[in-house]
Amino acid sequence: MVVAGDFGLSEIIEDNLPYSITGWAQSWCSGQFDYIPPPGWKRTSCWCCDPPSTHNGCSYCAMAKVTCEPIEPVIPIAPIVPEPECVPIEGKPWECSGLGNFDRYNCVDGKITFVEHNSTSCGYQPAPAVVPPNLDINGCDTDKGYTWCDKTQLCHIESTDPCNPIVPVPTDVPPSTIPAETPPTPIYGIAQTPECEPITGKPWECGGMLGEDNYDRYDCIDGKITFIEHNSLRCGYQDPKAQQPSPQELILVEEAPSEGIDMGTIAIVGILGLILVGGFILFKNKGNGET
């Protein structure tokens, strides 16, 4: 069997014997100093050349990079890994290993052999079995105090949920005669409806839900505090999409008369009328004089 020294290489690049070897040799790739591999091997590649005194070569030797392989391919033989020898141990596993050390190995015929996963002999403790509930014939859990109620056809606990019949919804009343439920009026921040007296020119109160804001308007109507509107401008709410008038401006607009013409407007109209009539007469007299 050849070894790396048989190839006469001054520098070995890759030693993959017995399959191949690559390195630098003091030779050429042809001619008088052509590189010759040892018997049974062939040169599969050659590159020439590096200058002398490189790759451990002599001062006058050209350096060629060569790769050699056997003429007959070598059939690789897989290494045989023998099973470890062992001696049986009476009364306990030969070894416990694996996740949690619960895998059991015994020595069988002088060989370490896997026997069982999660072995109790290696200390494995299985989870306790789940005990099903004690159910009666109707499926009620009697351990928790449930019994069957024929009136409701359900399991119940008598002390907290007495077995009372379910009140049926009347079906003989025509739907049109059943009064519709009136939705409750939302009251934000007011727990009850106290007595009140009206306050002229402004809301009786501005409140909010849980104190988050004070924009909910309440007025005193018939002696009762009554919710009017949510996010009221009268309570200072400002619409983020538009510039809103202040509560004082709203009060002035609301209190201003909405019908009729005030006396100042009448006086201005009268004066403008007199000016127009006087101008017309002056213009007419001037025209008659010129004629």
Domain positions in the chain are 4-70, 82-125, 135-167, 185-253
How much helix, strand and coil, in percent to the nearest 5, is found in the chain?
A: 20, 25, 55
Whether 173 and 189 have beta carbons less than 8 Å apart is answered as no
Give the predicted TM-score (pTM) of the model: 0.29
* Conformation bin of residue 254: beta by default, left when phi > 0, alpha when psi is -120 to 50: alpha
In tens digits, the chain (291 residues) has pLDDT values of 789 999 999 999 999 888 899 999 999 998 888 999 999 999 999 998 999 989 999 999 899 999 999 998 887 776 666 666 787 777 777 788 876 678 888 888 878 888 888 888 888 888 877 667 778 888 888 888 888 888 888 888 888 888 887 666 666 656 555 566 666 665 555 545 556 877 776 777 787 654 556 788 888 887 788 888 888 888 878 877 765 555 565 555 445 454 555 666 677 777 787 787 777 777 666 665 554
